[in-house]
Amino acid sequence: MTRVAVLTCRRLPEPDPDHEPLLESLRHAGADACPLAWDDGSADPAAFDVCVLRSTWTYHLDPDRFLAFCARCDAESILLNPLGVVRGNIHKRYLRALERRGVPVIPTEFVPRGADADLAAISRRRGWDRVVVKPAISAASWRTRVFSRADTDVGQAFLSELLRDRDAMVQRFMPEVGRSGERSIVWIAGEPTHAVRKAPRLAGEDERVSGALRVSDEEVRISRAALGGVERECLYARVDLIRDDAGGPLVSELELIEPSLFLIQHPPALARLRDSILTAAGG
């Protein structure tokens, strides 16, 4: 019997709607599937044929320990998504790499840990009226806030606090986010399966999403460009898109570690994910 670890964490910061449907689907297909918390010191990846990263939503609190756990999974089992993908996606500097490749991304200024950054100067230089300030390694909307020029002093204090112990990023707040949210394009086993529309979300807020939506040709094109071929290595991926002032799509995030995949909204994606896991495990 194929043994599948669905990787999670000891204390979820919020419910994971994908968790139980995935476990049930794997079990129905004959697999011995169970949750395994990455931050449980007794976790044993070697006991499983495959370890699938899912709701490891506390990884940002100790990224070095998380990467060490992923390396164990890679050495003792099969890790999905692969270790190299995880390492390359954990810090949002990947947005800079996408931009260098010509992929349109949300305008972003990266600020290294310990820097003496001036939020007002960044906003003036970039011509931004409102900004989003957040850590460069984060999950969900942890420590993510929006500031206008009128409350730059508060924003400066928040940015300085972040920079004491971590890299941070400042992004232009895109007006279209407030009007229509963002579109998340879900990929399973190298192909787009569905999209959802997500409402804006800041620290402490619940996630609100639509039902499954058709993925447009434009969304396939830009998400494929963002993935850059890595989708062939990945069990899953999610590309989050927002619109710029002219209506063009921008990549806001490329989620390759632990994204919600909105499987309840689109059961065929759940079936494709299950089958791909079992194939990878040799089951």
Residue 29 and residue 121 share a domain:
no
Question: Would the pTM count as exceeding 0.85?
Answer: yes
Q: Residue 249 above 60 pLDDT? A: yes
Residue 181 and residue 99 share a domain:
yes
Residue 85 and residue 7 share a domain:
yes
**Domain limits for position 116:** 108-173
Q: Is residue 267 part of a domain?
A: no
- The torsion of the CA quartet 130, 208, 38, 276, rounded to 10 degrees, works out to -120
Residue 283: what pLDDT? Answer: 58
Residue 225 and residue 99 share a domain:
yes
pLDDT band of 282, cuts 50, 70, 90: confident
Domain containing 50 — which CATH number? 3.40.50.20
Residue 145 and residue 12 share a domain:
no
Mean pLDDT of 35-42: 97
Residue 139: what pLDDT? Answer: 85
Q: Is residue 74 part of a domain?
A: yes
pLDDT band of 227, cuts 50, 70, 90: very high
Residue 208 and residue 98 share a domain:
yes
Domain containing 122 — which CATH number? 3.30.1490
Q: Is residue 163 part of a domain?
A: yes
Domain count, the chain: 3
Residue 98 and residue 115 share a domain:
no
Residue 112: what pLDDT? Answer: 97
> What are the tokens at 241?
């898109």
Residue 258 and residue 184 share a domain:
yes
How crowded is residue 211: how many other Cβ atoms within 10 Å of its Cβ? 11
Q: Is residue 147 part of a domain?
A: yes
Q: Residue 156 above 70 pLDDT? A: yes
Residue 230 and residue 193 share a domain:
yes
Residue 186 and residue 76 share a domain:
no
Residue 215 Ramachandran class (φ > 0 left, ψ -120 to 50 alpha, else beta)? beta
Kindly report the average pLDDT of the chain as a whole number.
95
